[in-house]
Amino acid sequence: MIICISREYGSGGGEIGHRLADYLGIPCYDKTVTALTADISGFTKELVARSEDKTPLPFDYSGYYYFYDGSSEKSLPIYDQIFLAQSRAILRLAEKGDCVIVGRCAAHVLEDKNVPCISVFIHAPMEERVKRVMERQNLDEKSATKAIRKNDKARANYYRKYASAEWGKVQNYEVTISSAVGIDNCVKFLADFAKMT
């Protein structure tokens, strides 16, 4: 039972992932992926964290090339190197057993390696997302809306680059659910779905 959660910014998808894991009695990997990716890649946790769910356009790569001993992977832009290391981290964590993995194109990474998983997309009405971001980050409505649009765009670009698919498109997931039905209801529904699969 490996459940991969992708989510709109401010939808509560991260909270749902952690609470779902607690409900099922299995680990939830979120920041753990960052730490393991740093260990695998040799990059700092801070750099890995900055790269997650984001992908700069090609002209933004200036200053981020890292060449080492002529090997093809080390000749890639740093964000691509981090994604490859992150993919290895996700595979290692999935190999440990049942788990929930939040973000990072995890479903694509596992499906590409023929590792069965349940891919989930969490969304919510914009007004609820704005309210959640305002409360959690102590922002005004305008700033919260701007943060949501910026992060959603970054996640869409990241998904398009590394999964070669459209982020948030229902056909790309086994389950899509709105957190507007309530966090507890989402957790219960996803737990029941996972047990049936």
How would you write the chain as a 3-class SS string?
Answer: CEEEEEECCCCCHHHHHHHHHHHHCCCEECHHHHHHHHHHHCCCHHHHHHHCCCCCCHHHHCCCECCCCCCCHHHCEHHHHHHHHHHHHHHHHHHCCCEEEECCCHHHHHHHCCCCCEEEEEECCHHHHHHHHHHHHCCCHHHHHHHHHHHHHHHHHHHHHHHCCCCCCHHHCCEEEEHHHCHHHHHHHHHHHHHHC
- In tens, the pLDDT along 30-41 reads 888 888 888 888
Do 28 and 100 touch, CB atoms closer than 8 A?
yes
CA proximity to 32, closest of 89, 111, 113: 89
Rounded CA-CA distance 47/83 in Å is 12
Name the token pair of 145: 């809306």
Rounded CA-CA distance 190/133 in Å is 23
Query: Residue 197 — very low, low, confident or very high, per pLDDT cuts 50/70/90?
Result: confident
Amino acid identity, position 53: D
Query: Residue 71 — very low, low, confident or very high, per pLDDT cuts 50/70/90?
Result: low
Rounded CA-CA distance 163/176 in Å is 18
Query: What was the pLDDT predicted at 58?
Result: 46
- In tens, the pLDDT along 91-142 reads 999 999 999 999 989 999 999 888 999 999 999 999 999 999 999 999 999 9
Query: What was the pLDDT predicted at 56?
Result: 52
Q: For the residues 60-87, what does the mean pLDDT come to?
A: 63
Average pLDDT score over the chain: 87
70: pLDDT strictly greater than 60: no
Query: What was the pLDDT predicted at 142?
Result: 97
64: pLDDT strictly greater than 60: no
Class of domain 2-196: alpha beta
6: pLDDT strictly greater than 70: yes
